[in-house]
Amino acid sequence: MGWSRHHKTGLIHYAPQHSFRGYTLLTTNRGGTHANLIDMEGKVCHRWQAPEGINYAYLLANGNLLLRTASNGRATEGHPAPLGAVADAVLELDWDSNVVWETRLPLLHHDFERLPNGNTLLLCWEPMPAELTPKVLGGFSVADDPCQMLGDVVKEVSSSGALVYEWKSWEYLDLEEDIICPLEGRKEFTHQNALSVTEDGDLLVSYRQTSTIGIVDKSTGVFKWKWGPGFLSHQHNPTYLDNGNVLVFDNGPHRRGVSYSRIIEINPSDDEIMWEYLGDPPISFFSYHISGCERLSNGNTLITEGAPGRIFEITRGKEIVWEYINPFTSEKGSDASASPGIYPNAVFRAHRYSPDYSGLEGRDLDPDRYRLLNSLYF
């Protein structure tokens, strides 16, 4: 999507009669130290801060914030340049930004999920067995490719930090079938960018490098469902819906022909696309990387067009009823010139919470507490 340097930020459009009323949580990708909770008018009504940075966060049912910190920037053995979305820690902050829980594992990245039993699912990179690296197909090679390609590992830790479960993706993927896109590098195999669970507690995963989403039987490690190549293009954020379908942000950077993003709802039982949203025209809606979508309880869909920091809500009939451009830029400044396609106000993923959400019960959400901050942006 083309952007003028003079385009408006903050709230762009709001149709109260058709929107899902609530509070939207967002963070600025790459460099911000704050998470902002905004009301339907786009005004900040609460904010958290973490000196280590907040690249992505979501709200727990107790009102605490679970977050991934900023990239640590450290090199790893055999990998001189860390990959995007690597982090030092996953932290839990209370309403006043005090750290009440944390976990620190090597090469944490992208996503995490707090389970009903209080444990936490985490994503980590680990070097794959050296003999597997040359057997992985696809991708392009460069001089500093590692001898041991990084692979994705799902780990589950208890509230005390003890490791209670581990699933190494490469042990269950098909090296003849799971092929890296020819326009992607070979420093890693799959680049898992999302992790959540189904109603049965199975793992819902997303692999950007191979344009694949899937459901993994958590008890056996075997894929129950795997889909995407030829239909998806470097997607993000599949979520499991109450009807058993999967909603996913299909980014689309390496499609044949015009690049555009779309939201699709897929039925895993027969791979039929049940619903689809595209921009009008299609090229008006596009994010090369990051991004997400979630189905709201009134049937609307909240979409994060991540790269340009655009968050908007659409009805089932695809009418835009709320639209907001993140006005909060990276506190480290814009790195767009160094990394084409990366905007200083980019948002990894946003979430909407209803006023009766348990985590917001009894909280002071008066935007007047942030009158000065709001006056700077609105």
pLDDT digits (tens, 9 = 90+) for 29-71: 976 899 999 999 999 999 999 999 999 999 999 999 999 998 7
CATH T-level topology, domain 14-377: Neuraminidase (2.120.10)
Lowest mean pLDDT among 25-34, 174-183, 356-365: 25-34
- Mapped to the 3 state alphabet, what secondary structure does the chain carry? CCCCCCCCCEEEEECCCCCCCCEEEEECCCCCCEEEEECCCCCEEEEEECCCCCCEEEECCCCCEEEECCCCCCCECCECCCCCCEECCEEEECCCCCEEEEECCCCEEEEEEECCCCCEEEEEEEECCCCCHHHCCEEECCCCCCCCCEEEEEEEECCCCCEEEEEEHHHCCCCCCCCEEEEEECCECCCEEEEEECCCCCEEEEECCCCEEEEECCCCCCEEEEECECCECCCEEEEECCCCCEEEEECCCCCCCCCCCEEEEEECCCCEEEEEEECCCHHHCCCCCCCEEEECCCCCEEEEECCCCEEEEECCCCCEEEEEECCCCCCCCCCCCCCCCCCCCCCCCCEEECCCCHHHCCCCCCHHHHHHHHHHHC
247 versus 85: the higher-pLDDT residue is: 247
Instruction: Dump pLDDT digits (tens) for 154-163.
Output: 999 999 999 9
Give me the residue spans of the domains in the chain: 14-377
Q: What mean pLDDT is predicted for residues 245-272?
A: 97
